Amino acid sequence: MKRSERLVDMTKYLMERPHTLISLPFFAKRYDAAKSSISEDLAILKHTLAANQDGILETIAGAAGGVRYIPYLGQGHAEKYLTDLASRIEDPSRILPGNFVYLSDVLSSTQDLRLIGSLIATRYAYSHIDAVMTVETKGIPLAEAVARYLNVPFVTARKRSKVTEGATVSVNYISSSLERVSKMELPTRALAKGSNVLIIDDFMKGGGTITGMEQLVREFEGTVAGITVLCEADFDKEKLVDDYISLVKINQIDAGKSLIVAEPGNFLTRTDFSRF
Amino acid sequence: MKRSERLVDMTKYLMERPHTLISLPFFAKRYDAAKSSISEDLAILKHTLAANQDGILETIAGAAGGVRYIPYLGQGHAEKYLTDLASRIEDPSRILPGNFVYLSDVLSSTQDLRLIGSLIATRYAYSHIDAVMTVETKGIPLAEAVARYLNVPFVTARKRSKVTEGATVSVNYISSSLERVSKMELPTRALAKGSNVLIIDDFMKGGGTITGMEQLVREFEGTVAGITVLCEADFDKEKLVDDYISLVKINQIDAGKSLIVAEPGNFLTRTDFSRF
């Protein structure tokens, strides 16, 4: 196989398997090529991704070595996308009764999910995440997108028990927007004990739902690697969660004036792009 | 930029934008290269994807022309994956009370979702799908995966009204496994009138839930382009839906004997791989 053909296949192969170590002999065998040729191919791939700031090809030396594709979006891409997203969220037709914000279009756009998933996966690329957790329903596509780029499973806590998931562990939490005690649960076999878990949700007001997921992680003897939400509504009451990252921050919603004000969240300042 | 670098970037760019027409002048400008060089690059890409049976690069001639990347998995890939999936589903520890089957591990594995999404997107590659529809909760990752490879939005019908989605349209349907009348709804702004909709779900017993989604499509004056489920349980009562496709067919579940028997579903016979 020619270099040009190898490069097409290699790019596709690696993109489909993020964060997975692929050995040089594997590629040498796949393409019936010398290891030295494969090394040159990979150097081209690495250099091209780095030049575009939209991916990292990590080389691991030694007998157990190989290459690993790490989904990544550089600071320029992040600023551009989040500025654009915040301005799209400033559309007053998104305001719903109770100062909720309609975001289902963003959460069901596969191109938005690609960028959001890549950004969050950039932030946690080296955090050794074992699983991504969310709670039904609207967090699910977000969690899937992040899990895809980290190439780990995602688990979905449910607010109601279902007969199709077997035994579950449940926790109670204060749902701050509704000011009542709620319950969420996770099937016992969904998450391995001691996992390092990234918590993802679509919208955070008081943070009550997040505290429920933190509790679930503790019940599974795991650790919380991080908490990231698509949107936080900052004008609201004090948060029950301190250490979280938001992609977009909504500063004001005034249904009467048809006004919604948003800006990129703390994601940009809380991500160290320079370490890549 | 050299050909080798262009091929890496082009492969990535096209894979991230399935079913999207990209003009030759766009690439010529992006790489500061002659259109004839770009044409040669694309011929290499097309040829490599075709040789691997894992993607189609469609060329559209003329002034409004360009290329379009169509996610596709050939018959050999489909047979291999579905045979493997069916045998993984034959694990008796998946049997839950009430003859339900634990599938959450498959539905939360991003590598399974990649293959399942690509297969279903292969089947409907030329069906002019406008949107993928599912109902909460477990169908969501499936619908997202399919929508991603078709590059269309997906919409999620909900069984309970939520304050964060605004006005909704609701329908009633007979939930056959529970033998009662249930309700599902979709936000009015989630789906454009007259859309051609692909209905996706994780598990079909009687098919009642699917009839609910068919009704929703009609309420939005749309057409049902197809119905595809990950698993059908064939041993169960007569189906309320005739024309559907399943990836895996479960023929027998016997909790007492710890037995579950599965095989690839009618997907393989109902997909015309030869037209690609």
Separation in Å, CA of B72 to nearest CA in chain A = 13
Show the low-confidence residues of chain A (pLDDT under 70).
161, 163, 176-178, 236
Closest CA to A228 of A112, A102, A149, A120: A120
Task: Burial-class residue A208 by CB neighbours within 10 Å (0-12, 13-18, 19+).
Answer: buried
Q: Do A101 and B141 touch (CB under 8 A)?
A: no
Q: What is the pLDDT of residue A178?
A: 61
Q: Do A45 and B8 touch (CB under 8 A)?
A: yes
- In chain A, the percentage of residues whose pLDDT exceeds 70 is 97
Q: Do A165 and B96 touch (CB under 8 A)?
A: yes
The pair of structure tokens assigned to A65 is 């070595």
Q: B interface mutation test: which of A22, A101, A108, A133 has the most B CBs within 10 A?
A: A108
DSSP-derived secondary structure for A87-130: HHHT-GGGEETTTEE--HHHHT-HHHHHHHHHHHHHHTTTS---
Task: List, edge to edge, every strand of the sheet that includes A245-254.
Answer: A154-157, A131-135, A196-204, A223-233, A245-254, A259-264
Show the low-confidence residues of chain B (pLDDT under 50).
none
Q: How many CB atoms lie within 10 A of CB B24?
A: 18
The model's pLDDT over A6-17, given as tens digits with 9 standing for 90+, comes to: 999 999 999 999
Partnered with residue A44 across adjacent β-strands are: none
Q: State the fold for domain B3-70.
A: Arc Repressor Mutant, subunit A (1.10.10)
Q: Do A98 and B147 touch (CB under 8 A)?
A: no
CATH number 3.40.50.2020 given to A75-275: yes
Cβ within 8 Å of residue A62, ≥6 positions away: none
Cβ–Cβ contact A94 with B under 8 A: no
- The shortest CB-CB distance from B163 to any of A3, A96, A165 is to A96
- The shortest CB-CB distance from A96 to any of B113, B154, B166 is to B166
Separation in Å, CA of B190 to nearest CA in chain A = 7
Cβ–Cβ contact A147 with B under 8 A: yes
Partnered with residue B248 across adjacent β-strands are: B231, B264
Cβ–Cβ contact B211 with A under 8 A: no
Residue contacts between A and B (CB atoms, under 8 Å)? 164
Separation in Å, CA of B191 to nearest CA in chain A = 10
Return d(Cα B211, Cα B227) in angstroms, integer: 10
- Going by their DSSP bridges, the two strands A56-60 and A66-70 should be labelled as antiparallel
Q: What is the pLDDT of residue A177?
A: 62
Q: What is the pLDDT of residue A77?
A: 97
The model's pLDDT over B211-258, given as tens digits with 9 standing for 90+, comes to: 999 999 999 999 999 999 999 997 767 788 889 999 999 999 999 999
Selected residues 238-257 of chain B with any CB under 8 Å from a CB in chain A:
none
Computed over its alpha carbons, how large is the radius of gyration of chain A? 21
Cβ–Cβ contact A165 with B under 8 A: yes
Q: Do B55 and A12 touch (CB under 8 A)?
A: yes
DSSP state of B257: T
Q: Is A141 left (phi over 0), alpha (psi -120 to 50) or beta?
A: alpha
Cβ within 8 Å of residue B69, ≥6 positions away: B14, B15, B17, B18, B19, B20, B55, B56, B57, B58
- The shortest CB-CB distance from A151 to any of B110, B145, B156 is to B110
Domain ranges of chain A: 3-70, 75-275
